[in-house]
Amino acid sequence: MKSKRDIFQDINDIKEMMSKSSKFMSLSAISGVYVGIIALLGFGMSYFFADLSIDNIKILVITGLFILLLSLSIVFILSYKKAKSNNENRISNALKVLFIELFFPLLIGGIIIIWSVMNNQVWLIIPVSLIFYGLGMYNISRLSLSELKYLGLSEILLGLLSLFLVQFSLIIWLLGFSLINIIFGLYLHNKYEK
């Protein structure tokens, strides 16, 4: 007959197995720092094209799309390497669900941004990108690091703020995508990866 301690250990083992199958804990925290640096470089390029004529808006949108794709690629590559070093050799269902939960809000936000450009409502680009990125981070917090919820809420609040402070939108975008990502990335890296 098992002792109470053995029973509790069995329960903890079962909980850990269930958590591993439903959560992706190999999300690379340091990738948030890289995402922030990429956003900072993108901001520099955007600042160069600060004249918001229609021709430059297309360049800004292409720059933003490039920043997004490069950032997501870095997150995926670093998370894949971390998962491999944690002996998670296959791409788990949790990782697939995590990326779906992230991509859905980004896709909807992207459609709204395309509509904004097509209808000369370019002032919506920054708030929409911050809000829907924030929604994506909030979504994945339940599947990965719970602190991502606070990153998501921060991005959403900055997006809402940029709706009302349009003249400061580019600075707010810089805060959201660069500084906050760097701060959260360093915090999560120190908490989970050191």
Does 19 have pLDDT greater than 80?
A: no
Average confidence (pLDDT) over 81-93: 69
CB neighbour class for 95 (10 Å; exposed up to 12, middle 13-18, buried from 19): buried
Confidence (pLDDT) at 1:
60
126: nearest Cα among 55, 192, 189, 67: 67
Secondary structure (H, E, C), 105-119: HHHHHHHHHHHHHHC
Rounded Cα gap, residues 62 and 79, in angstroms: 25
Distances 39 to 72, 81, 86, 141 between C-alpha atoms, Å: 12, 22, 29, 21
Q: How confident is the model at residue 107 (pLDDT cuts 50, 70, 90)?
A: very high
Average confidence (pLDDT) over 22-30: 61
pTM: 0.79
Length of the chain as a residue count: 194
